[in-house]
Amino acid sequence: MRENRWLDEIKWDDQGLVPAIAQDFETGQILMMAWMNRESLLLTQQEQRAVYWSRSRLRLWRKGEESGHVQKLHDLQLDCDADVILLKVEQMGGIACHTGRAHCFFRSLKEGQWHENAAVVKDPKEIYNND
């Protein structure tokens, strides 16, 4: 479709996916990285919120669908090789990670070991309904 020509410029991998990095639009904090297929990227643009493709569940994943931690889209960017997406987002609830932390990159390497650099904001048991 002509109106979705911007999608044709993207170089999907052999599984039809591209990595998508979510970055806080205000602080610049990198929140997470997940994957998108053509449909999820189109929905991201149409719904102005991050919609990923879950490789483990093999289905669309509207970020925040369970937790309420929606990522509201502020800008959608593409890299030089057209094979990585960058989303500038507003992270609703201030929690991007399923561990209950603000972001997923909560381990830093110090003297040959991974050390936690970010505290749990909310217990995941309180975020997800595991009925």
Which residues would be at the binding site for a copy of itself (CB under 8 A)?
A: 3-6, 9, 19, 21, 23, 27-30, 32-33, 45, 75-81, 84, 86, 97-99, 101, 104-109, 112-114, 117
Q: What is the DSSP pairing of strand 85-91 with strand 107-110?
A: unpaired
CB–CB of 99/34 below 8 Å? no
Return d(Cα 72, Cα 7) in angstroms, integer. Answer: 20
Q: For the CB of residue 19, give the shortest distance to a copy of itself in the complex, in Å.
A: 5
Return d(Cα 87, Cα 24) in angstroms, integer. Answer: 8
The nearer residue to a copy of itself, 18 or 70, going by C-beta atoms, is 18
Q: For the CB of residue 126, give the shortest distance to a copy of itself in the complex, in Å.
A: 17
The nearer residue to a copy of itself, 59 or 131, going by C-beta atoms, is 59
Return d(Cα 19, Cα 33) in angstroms, integer. Answer: 7
The nearer residue to a copy of itself, 23 or 70, going by C-beta atoms, is 23
33: exposed, middle or buried (C-beta count within 10 Å: 0-12, 13-18, 19+)?
middle
Q: For the CB of residue 70, give the shortest distance to a copy of itself in the complex, in Å.
A: 19
Return d(Cα 12, Cα 2) in angstroms, integer. Answer: 19
Q: For the CB of residue 92, give the shortest distance to a copy of itself in the complex, in Å.
A: 19
The nearer residue to a copy of itself, 126 or 131, going by C-beta atoms, is 126
